[in-house]
Amino acid sequence: MFGLVILECPTERAEAERRLSTLHAEHSRPLLSYLIGLTNGERPAAEDLLQETMIRAWKSLAAVPAEHENARRWLFTVARNVAIDAIRMRRVRPSETPLLDFTRLLTTADSTEMVLAVDTLRSAIGGLSPAHRAILCELYFRGRTTVETADRLGVPVGTVKSRAHYALHIVRRALLGAA
């Protein structure tokens, strides 16, 4: 019921597809240039925003003005709003914690260092609360996504992300403190 309206009439659908193709052909390059500027030169991010802009145009095709210049203004407004939404989404998410570099641990020749590192890691993980340990287990040992982990443990996705962040922070501090 909500979302993209599927047109019943084949001629209307074909006309809508033609219109969207025309909009993309006429406006995608200037929109992409505009979005590259908004993303500080990050072309992949700008391409994602352009795609989202065109999806929104498809969903609201009846609202896109027929005149070329007005359609361009409409698309640029949508592109700006999409970029603002993306910035807001990044600000809401907690910053990602870089993963620990275990390559040094795995290639070290000194077995004493390896034993100490593994013992420190076990102690650090063992010192976590059961909730934090469960999150790390689901995400890193079982390879589940944050959504799957949230569903499996019955907690919100934001809780999974924050617990993972703090648990990794505690483990990292323990490993760096032992070095």
| Residue 131, H or E segment | helix 130-136
Q: Residue 7 — very low, low, confident or very high, per pLDDT cuts 50/70/90? A: very low
pTM: 0.48
**Average pLDDT of the chain, as a whole number:** 83
The share of the chain scoring above pLDDT 90, in percent, equals 43
pLDDT at residue 118 above 80?
no
With b for 16 or more beta-carbon neighbours within 10 A and e for fewer, the 102-133 pattern comes to: eeeeeeeeeeeeeeebeebbeebbeebeeebe
* Per-residue model confidence (pLDDT) at position 164: 92
pLDDT of residue 148: 92
**Structural domains present in the chain:** 10-92 (1.10.1740), 103-178 (1.10.10.10)
